[in-house]
Structure 1
């Protein structure tokens, strides 16, 4: 048997061979992982509506009733005009969020928080455009809970919004590549006529179709194509503008198609992009999903839905700019002083706190500027200084939706004059992220130090142990109610009352195809559905078998002009427990805690423009 003699000249070759094999194996493993990853289902891309900026598109066929993307959260902003001493709609101060926030009346119990509340929804809720004829998405109601935190023991209570779970729901079957449209309400456009012009509303298309019919009748009299095209251009350039004129197709060719199939069908056809186009010009919006954070006391967090390679964009984030962060200050009242109309007056020497929105925005210690992302899922990303896996960068202008790099050389005063967004971050992976990993960002050393000081100095507010949040007592359906204690009747509450900070409301659709039920009459409870989820103050009169209750409701009556004229009492029987909801009374929830943590996330010095540094 021949002996094997080691030859040192073979060693480098063997090392290179093994290295190549290992690298090849890792590469194949990575490619397999990428191939096995679910394809992006939701994209941000340029809207099919001319000059409308960002659009949101589904990359898969979607059935009516299907969820689009992942649930959003809603950030309450309370009494903003009062704290700023003016009107945001009137332009007394710069508030770009007014074009992106939602009325509190459509966000569950948000309207009960304060006298005036709007909701900033920093995800899909802020991104889709409105098209009255093609509206295909409705927003679900928002759930409320504090993720198990309580003001008696958790320093993080009040530092994040309890309103979450707001989903986009398809209202019709959608083809892949369809742009998503929501209904802002006609009022949204009529208020902004000066900035947007005469945007067509639903009834505008009736007159527009009549114009098309007249135009088509002219074409039947032997007019040539050139003459008809010139005539159409003349119609569209008519100097007296109207919403109906705006509803007509811009081009003669599109008008001909509309004559054949109708304006709505032509607009529907033009609102669909190919999936290949979305991959080329768009950015994925569903790489992140919300869930309870792995960080104790942090509330909710963002988790990867698929493998994301180092250096790839995890989430795009267009930015709403707030030039002066003083706009988020919360003031106390001047004692015994009122306006001629009887309203209280803010005391600018008594700063009580800051709006919760601050915690969801980025800033810099040397600037008054705040930048608030409205990218899908980015508002759930928590801080981790030790092991972050994403960073923020300015979006590459070649792939950005709205980013204008010239703004980085301008002043904060310049930004105050800009009435639409023009800046954009990308959250980029700084290492490979596996499906299910929680996504973390380093908020910066200043934020980290502030949070550490908060933890060190935090103490519960007075009577914190006795506080009952509404979310502790509410259940949302028959299943979740099974483990809840029975509700106390009005008589039982005389001996064992609920907290003074709570009010009791009941869902009821009293107008649903029935005569009004007057006092001392009983009516069977009907489950609210769709948008008819109004609730009214109520008393629990009797507890029946099967967790059903008889209640009386105080229902307001309004005149034809919408003014409240009186209340009536409606008695209703067999209301299920989930149809009875506790509400936190005004200014009593964790949102208004004086010791709640407030601090903006910090933009790194390396990417923050010197031209924005307006503080010494």
Structure 2
């Protein structure tokens, strides 16, 4: 969650490896709406290729049954459905997805540098002579910009030419282009890793788990996972945020504010106290002797749960092109910070013979076990109420139930964490104009639809169907970066004859399990024998503290003498 993170570490996961949270239906996880999602597995492993995309981007799915019933917020309820094939893929063919135009337009192509350098040279020649009048400089800069404008003017013609060429491209040409992305099966057997040994399903210990798909032998590499590396574990700290109207001053504890002059409010991040940690910490490996975090994103590995009777262990990957053993041997944390792409990997190895259908477990470490035991017995541990149900459950159980009017909610209110919102199309809905058979998909709710807040003014029966009159609170779509309304430019509209399917339950922002204080957070322990000495930056801090404590004790002894 962007606003909960430290300013200097606002993107702990590399930009190409996380999704916009809104696309996953995660808008209500934060009042600011600025939520990004780390998605390990298929979606992180696939590269983007606009012409050769052969995998359909999977849709997001939400299942709060993934969580441990008695200890909410310890596992993620979000996931993605199984990937689907968009076109035939030959054996050895690389799998590609398409990240959408917004991502593609943000990438810098090698040819872009030539244009930038040329423009800088032209501007440089203009401003090089400091004796020329300012007006002359301005005129010449204007000419340069206008010259570049001719490129923009030619775009429509160029685009039409590209479309014509693309239309005339034959299937043979497409296939010949794709052949550049095919590896020989023998090469893959030597350099690749099988990722078909595991399957995820309900765990025997709660939540989701990983299970053996085939019989596995002791010492066999079950799978291999690349790792994201973060040299500062503080990247997953969470701080309190507040939202204020402009008339209120910024508190001294506020680290940064984000202002919207037109909306008339600002957010403030308070860094004087760490209030929690991002859920991603539960899926990363760490060690008390280092500030480094290693987060696997291979297929299925994040489903492997803890057990003292483990049957799988991790080790640094061997014979795998995606792992650079020299980095482990010699690279410092400062040098790791400068490496902007994944360069490390774990092998997951069977410690004994494992039968098909058996659940896979690893040892999360002594520190993790102690932390989990303390959490289970602690008075501040988050416990889910017996009567709690997420908005997702409400929509499943009460999909066709009558929605209470505002007056009815005075005596029979919905739970504090539940609110009712109406579909965007309710604002423009006109039952009379649409006739007796309106489009069936007019009020279809996608995972990234959040709708508008609304008050249920009235409910009435019309020809055997219940309809609603709504007081809708709306604001310009351009301002819809937040799930809480801005101070200005909010307008209310009254709409009637709105059908039940236009209304949906949502979690009030910041009330989900993931936001609950007291939920369990702790990294999985990286074994000491896997941690190189040059990464042990926390060990020095502990020794300094011990030395200071020892000096204090010596001073006390001298004073007593």
Same fold? TM cut 0.5: yes
Partner of 1:62: none
Partner of 2:98: 183
How much has 1:301 moved relative to structure 2? 1.1
C-alpha distance in 2 between matches for 1:548 and 1:286 = 50
C-alpha distance in 1 between matches for 2:183 and 2:528 = 39
2:78 equivalent to 1:163: yes
Q: Residues 190-209 of structure 1 correspond to what in structure 2 (within 5 A)?
A: 190-193=105-108, 197-198=110-111
The 1:562/1:472 distance shift into structure 2, 3 A limit, reads closer
Contact 1:544 1:574 in 2 (8 A): no
How much has 1:474 moved relative to structure 2? 2.3
Partner of 1:438: 359
Deviation string, structure 1 residues 115-172 (Cα, Å, up to 9, x no partner): 210000011110100000122223333222322768xx71x21111111243322233
Partner of 1:305: 213
Q: SS at 1:587's partner residue? A: coil
How much has 1:442 moved relative to structure 2? 0.4
2:335 equivalent to 1:414: yes
C-alpha distance in 1 between matches for 2:46 and 2:171 = 26
Q: SS at 1:140's partner residue? A: coil
Q: Residues 50-65 of structure 1 correspond to what in structure 2 (within 5 A)?
A: none
Q: SS at 2:227's partner residue? A: strand
Contact 1:489 1:543 in 2 (8 A): no
The 1:559/1:446 distance shift into structure 2, 3 A limit, reads closer
Aligned pair count reads: 454
Contact 1:520 1:571 in 2 (8 A): no
How much has 1:589 moved relative to structure 2? 0.8
2:323 equivalent to 1:403: yes
Partner of 1:144: 62
Partner of 1:372: 295
Contact 2:13 2:38 in 1 (8 A): no
The 1:326/1:109 distance shift into structure 2, 3 A limit, reads closer
Range with bigger deviation, 354-363 or 516-525: 516-525
5+ residue gaps, structure 2, are: 114-167, 243-248, 260-264, 540-561
How much has 1:188 moved relative to structure 2? 2.5
Counterpart selection for 1:517 from 415, 429, 432: 429
2:17 equivalent to 1:100: yes
Q: SS at 1:583's partner residue? A: strand
Contact 1:311 1:431 in 2 (8 A): yes
Q: Residues 213-362 of structure 1 correspond to what in structure 2 (within 5 A)?
A: 264-295=174-205, 298-333=206-241, 337=251, 339=257, 341=259, 343-362=266-285
The 1:368/1:531 distance shift into structure 2, 3 A limit, reads same
The 1:368/1:532 distance shift into structure 2, 3 A limit, reads closer
How much has 1:352 moved relative to structure 2? 0.4
C-alpha distance in 2 between matches for 1:284 and 1:307 = 14
C-alpha distance in 1 between matches for 2:307 and 2:376 = 15
Partner of 1:383: 306
How much has 1:262 moved relative to structure 2? 7.1
How much has 1:454 moved relative to structure 2? 1.0
2:513 equivalent to 1:590: yes
The 1:112/1:455 distance shift into structure 2, 3 A limit, reads closer
How much has 1:473 moved relative to structure 2? 1.1
Q: SS at 1:368's partner residue? A: strand
Partner of 1:610: 533
Q: SS at 2:270's partner residue? A: strand
Deviation string, structure 1 residues 552-600 (Cα, Å, up to 9, x no partner): 5767654799999776666565555xx7542212111111121111000
The 1:539/1:183 distance shift into structure 2, 3 A limit, reads farther
Q: SS at 1:147's partner residue? A: helix
C-alpha distance in 2 between matches for 1:267 and 1:470 = 47
The 1:340/1:354 distance shift into structure 2, 3 A limit, reads closer
Partner of 1:473: 394
How much has 1:281 moved relative to structure 2? 3.0
Deviation string, structure 1 residues 88-124 (Cα, Å, up to 9, x no partner): 47xxxxx343220001121124455442100000111
Partner of 1:83: 5
How much has 1:393 moved relative to structure 2? 0.9
The 1:190/1:307 distance shift into structure 2, 3 A limit, reads same
Q: SS at 2:199's partner residue? A: strand
Higher RCO, Cα 8 Å, sep 6+: 2
The structure where helix makes up a greater share of residues is: 2
Q: SS at 1:179's partner residue? A: coil
Q: SS at 2:327's partner residue? A: helix
How much has 1:185 moved relative to structure 2? 2.6
Q: SS at 2:414's partner residue? A: coil
The 1:302/1:543 distance shift into structure 2, 3 A limit, reads farther
Partner of 1:28: none
The 1:458/1:525 distance shift into structure 2, 3 A limit, reads farther
Partner of 1:526: 440
C-alpha distance in 1 between matches for 2:111 and 2:42 = 26
5+ residue gaps, structure 1, are: 1-77, 90-94, 201-257, 476-480
C-alpha distance in 2 between matches for 1:591 and 1:547 = 41
TM-score scaled by length of structure 1: 0.65
Q: SS at 1:343's partner residue? A: strand
TM-score scaled by length of structure 2: 0.71
Contact 1:519 1:570 in 2 (8 A): no
Range with bigger deviation, 98-107 or 341-350: 341-350
C-alpha distance in 2 between matches for 1:380 and 1:463 = 22
Partner of 2:133: none
Range with bigger deviation, 364-373 or 493-502: 493-502
How much has 1:421 moved relative to structure 2? 0.8
Q: SS at 2:451's partner residue? A: strand
The 1:198/1:352 distance shift into structure 2, 3 A limit, reads farther
Contact 2:26 2:35 in 1 (8 A): no
